[in-house]
Amino acid sequence: MNMRWIVLSQAAMNEHPTPSASSGQALATKIQAWRRWGTLCLLAALALHAEARTRPHYGGTLRVEMEGDAWQQNVTQAGGLGGPMARRLIFDGLTRVDLDGTVRPSLAVRWTSENSDRRWQFWLRPGVHFQDGSPLNVAVVATSLTGSCGAACPWTAVRAVGSSVVFTSDSPMPNLPTLLAGDDFSIVHFASTGADAAPQPTPLLGSFVGTGAFEAVGFSSGVLTLMANDSCWEGRPFLDKIEVTGHKSIRDQWLDLSLGRADLVEVPAEQLRQAREQRLTVVVSGPASLLTLAVADGGVLSDANLRAAIALAVDRSSLSNVIFQKQGEITASLLPAALTGYGFLFPADRDVNKARELRGGLTPPALTISTDGGAQMQLASQRIALNLREAGFNVQVAPPGPVHHADMVLLRLTLASNQPQAALESLLRGVGVGSPVVEDTSAGLYKVEREFLQTHTLVPLLYLPRAYALGGRVRDLSLSADGMPLLADVSLQDAP
Amino acid sequence: MKRVGLVLLVANCLIGLAGLAAPAPSKWQGPAAELAEQVAGIVGPGQVRLTIRNASSISTDEIPKIRTLLEEDLKAHGVLTSGAESANAIRVTLSENTRERLWVAEVIEGNQRQVAMVHVEPEMVRQAQAGTGLTLRKQSVLTTKDPVLAALETGEGLVVVEPEEIVIYSHAAEGWREQKRVAIGQRKPLPRDPRGVIVPSRGGEGFEAFVAGMVCDGSYAKGTMDGGWTVRCREGDDPWQLSVPLSLQTAATKQSENIEVTPLKAFYNSSRDYFTGVLAPSLGADLPQFYTAAIVPRPAGSGSLAALLVNGIDGKVQLTETSVLKPVSGARDWGSDFAVLNTGCGAGAPVVASGSGEAIADSLRAYDLPAQEAIPASAPLAMDGTVMALWTAPDGKSVLAVVRTPANQGAANEYEVDRVVASCNE
């Protein structure tokens, strides 16, 4: 530090005017030099007395804004574009996926598998209570898990055995601990409604409770209010309260952030560059969601060659460069290349001639493409439709809103884990392929991917990151493996 | 005798030279042989074109060596790579993912393509530490799956403060063996990052432990039931005792035989997890609210025996000396935990501070504090996880750190109590 001081001092001294300069110029130069000297001194003093890092402060309210609906998008739906931000604060799963993608204990403290992963036993953490004070027990867990997936569960049966929950299946479930970390399998308990139950702020909010760090206590005027759970098994969170305001355009979110009216706002991938140009403090995840085109394998598209032609006709580069402003990672494989190392084996180049050749000169009836995403996804759909028309397909883009039938759907799938085997199974489950991925070597996973992608029912396009911009008082924000902000560990610098 | 010594020396040199002359086995030998075997199994004997693409962090200097190895191994299986005109091609990509290296061979025969892959273990990269005045070393005292807030080694065992229990370990052949657990009995929920302090009792055979809203006293008496330990906990917002190294107590006593070293205590806000800044007895200065405090011995002639170093909740590190609060510079890289270490290497006692980074693996570093500037006195000592607590051992010759190590799959986090000592560099 002393050395820096000396260097700065010498630099400032070298700025002094020479005697040969005229007196007016000399005075101006002298003033300028002293200004620089003063600035350097100030900078040096600031550097010398920079503050050390402290423990996180308790207290304060974090204000989050998002484009979607704060309640619908967070709590009642596990998926969705905005992601289940609040859901993860209210509920816990038996396991969780840590920042490095490794499965960690959560409401289960340990687990074992038997019979080649066909039987799994998870032991519950003792002494955990739901936000309404009722204890976590195996019966509640089994009920919650059974209700979470119905007939599409990865297991055949789940039952309580002592202080543990046992899952059984006819086929191996090697990725069950990772799957149980997913939002679909959060442990939800319907709140007490007896005479001794605490009155709930609204019937909707009071209908279910979790064991997480925050409790939903109010939802009005589009603002979801979450209060710290003082008796959380992981310890009380640092924040007292989180307010999630929905239905805010990105422009309004950024404006509120700049005016100090919001602490955490969304940054869509295509606006990352703009956010940086505006000098926003941005936290960006790695590849978090897979933009993919699901192609129906029935009706007109029951011909595998037509589906293959569609896969070849899509121009990923234009999607990446134009629609997503070069923030996406082009992929033709399901798993990101960084996770596998074999992504290059799936060519992502467009080949319109080959697509036309595969189409065989036939012009199939009009196809529809839809998306349940926002404006950017709609733009991406239109771009894909344009690509397909160039290859001789007749494609219509369905207008925004719910679509009951479409030949192609543009969707985003969440990368749930950094463990390739579990991530692949999770992605496949996301498109309704329920068979477990038992292969755990790179060669085995490549084979699974190749065989699935050869059906051309899913065309991987881009891996997109998730990003958020932060206000100056937000501390210790990290993103989960799938790019969601981990708000339970966030604190505010200016908390009381 | 001299001749024997000379002969041995020459022999050693020769052995050394012989070792240098023999080529060391290449780290790429295994994967190259494995990949060549897989490729030969696909393509069979004959001529092929071999191309290698490096899409990994392997240095380009290594590629010719890898190519040579692959060519030799393929040749051993009857596959010759000299066939520039051959229709069969082997395209090897040296790739990698987040966990390991992956070598992929695409075997192209006409329109057909088959793939072979081998894993290559990543090398362990070890960075040499810069040489400085002190070298910090750590030794593990205890590893447990339960969170540890503080620990104290006494003559009779190891007392560990956990968030909800006091655990007593006794000496055993294999190390520490758990002897007794006593529930602290909190009624209020714990904060998210609970903290605790344990100090020896006045007599030296017991302890006093503080956790949020609770105070526990432990005493040891030989020959009693239940291993000799009696632990009693009660609710209380008593101020927490700041540890005073024995060396400082001894120095104070030496200076004046009549002096009695009064333990310095600090009031703790259990709901906000920091000290309020109120001390008992008062030091005469208005202290800020702080997270950590340590009593630092001051050099002779400085006008005081000791000063109090505090890390305010605003991140400012300040020194309270002769009732005056002075800012400390050079502490920008500090985390929120520090402790004083009596090294015996020089006149002062350096402060060991945790790093300010948010990495999974934390570090500790010693700093000299001759005046109001913290000057690094050692290279950072990498810890195996996040430093959760740090305090000075009662004898002052080491500091103890609680490190939370990342959990393995299917298991909880582990907590390690490490003793950190310093040795003087020659």
Q: Which domain holds residue B377?
A: 134-424
Residue numbers in A near B192 (CB within 8 A): 58, 213, 232, 234-238, 488-489
Q: Which residue of B has its CA nearest to A490?
A: B192
CB within 8 Å: B311 and A443? no
Q: How confident is the model at residue B36 (pLDDT cuts 50, 70, 90)?
A: very high
B191 lies in the same domain as B71: no
pLDDT at B247 over 70: no
Domain presence at residue B18: no
Instruction: Check residues A128 and B249 and name the one with the higher pLDDT.
Output: A128
Would you state the pLDDT for residue A2? Answer: 30
Tell whether A418 is within 8 A of chain B (Cβ).
yes
Q: Which residue of B has its CA nearest to A103?
A: B409
Give B295 to chain A, closest Cα distance, Å. Answer: 18
Q: What is the pLDDT of residues A372-391, one digit of tens each?
A: 777 889 999 999 999 999 99
Instruction: Check residues A72 and B142 and name the one with the higher pLDDT.
Output: B142
**Which CATH number does the domain housing residue B216 bear?**
2.130.10
Domain presence at residue B402: yes
Would you state the pLDDT for residue B249? Answer: 56
Would you state the pLDDT for residue A391? Answer: 92
pLDDT at A78 over 60: no
B174 lies in the same domain as B115: no
B416 lies in the same domain as B345: yes
CB within 8 Å: B407 and A104? yes
pTM above threshold 0.80: no
B175 lies in the same domain as B323: yes
B142 lies in the same domain as B275: yes
Q: To which H or E segment does residue A23 belong?
A: helix A23-48
Residue numbers in B near A54 (CB within 8 A): 291, 311-315, 336
B231 lies in the same domain as B372: yes
CB within 8 Å: A177 and B115? no
Give CA–CA dist B403/A351, Å, rounded. Answer: 55
Domain presence at residue B128: no
Give the count of domains, chain B.
2
B84 lies in the same domain as B192: no
B317 lies in the same domain as B412: yes
A93-102, B157-166, B254-263 — which is least confidently predicted? Answer: B254-263
Residue numbers in B near A236 (CB within 8 A): 189-192
Sorted by where each begins, the domain ranges of chain A are 2-48, 92-190, 289-464
Which value, in Å, is the radius of gyration of the alpha carbons in chain B? 30
Positive or negative CA dihedral for A301, A303, A305, A308?
positive
Domain presence at residue B6: no
Q: Which residue of B has its CA nearest to A443?
A: B117
Encoded tokens for A18: 């020479």
Contact between A94 and A180 (Cβ < 8 Å): yes
Q: Which residue of B has its CA nearest to A340?
A: B97
Contact between A286 and A338 (Cβ < 8 Å): yes
Chains A–B, number of C-beta pairs less than 8 Å apart: 144
Average pLDDT of chain A, as a whole number? 82
Residue numbers in B near A53 (CB within 8 A): 315, 334-336, 356
- The superfamily CATH assigns to domain A289-464 is Dipeptide-binding Protein; Domain 3 (3.10.105.10)
CA angle B278, B281, B282 (to 5 degrees): 55
Encoded tokens for B239: 């101020």
Q: Which residue of B has its CA nearest to A95?
A: B410
Interface of A with B in 201-230 (CB under 8 A): 213, 230
Domain presence at residue B10: no
Domain presence at residue B4: no
Given B86, B120, B154, the domain boundary residue is: B120
Give CA–CA dist A460/A463, Å, rounded. Answer: 8
CB within 8 Å: B409 and A103? yes
B177 lies in the same domain as B54: no
Q: Which residue of B has its CA nearest to A475?
A: B358
**Which CATH number does the domain housing residue B80 bear?**
3.30.160
Interface of A with B in 438-457 (CB under 8 A): 441-443, 446
Interface of A with B in 175-194 (CB under 8 A): 177
Q: What is the pLDDT of residues A163-177, one digit of tens each?
A: 999 999 998 999 899
CA angle B90, B93, B96 (to 5 degrees): 155
Q: To which H or E segment does residue A447 belong?
A: helix A442-453
Give A45 to chain B, closest Cα distance, Å. Answer: 9
Encoded tokens for A405: 């039938």
Domain presence at residue B16: no
Spatial CB neighbours of A164, under 8 Å, sequence gap ≥ 6:
A121, A122, A123, A124, A138
B166 lies in the same domain as B271: yes
Could you say which of B117, B272, B331 has the minimum Cβ distance to residue A52? B331
pLDDT at B17 over 60: no
Q: What is the pLDDT of residues B107-149, one digit of tens each?
A: 998 888 899 999 987 653 333 344 457 888 888 899 888 889 9
- The superfamily CATH assigns to domain A92-190 is Dipeptide-binding Protein; Domain 1 (3.90.76.10)
- Residue A458 pairs in a beta bridge with A294
pLDDT at B20 over 70: no
B306 lies in the same domain as B375: yes
CB within 8 Å: A54 and B313? yes
Nearest 10 degrees: Cα torsion A79, A82, A85, A87: -40
Pick among B192, B292, B326 to test the A interface (most A CBs inside 10 A): B192
Given B68, B97, B120, the domain boundary residue is: B120
Would you state the pLDDT for residue A52? Answer: 62
B270 lies in the same domain as B399: yes
Q: Which residue of A has its CA nearest to B333?
A: A52
Would you state the pLDDT for residue A208? Answer: 78
pLDDT at A20 over 50: no
CB within 8 Å: A58 and B106? no
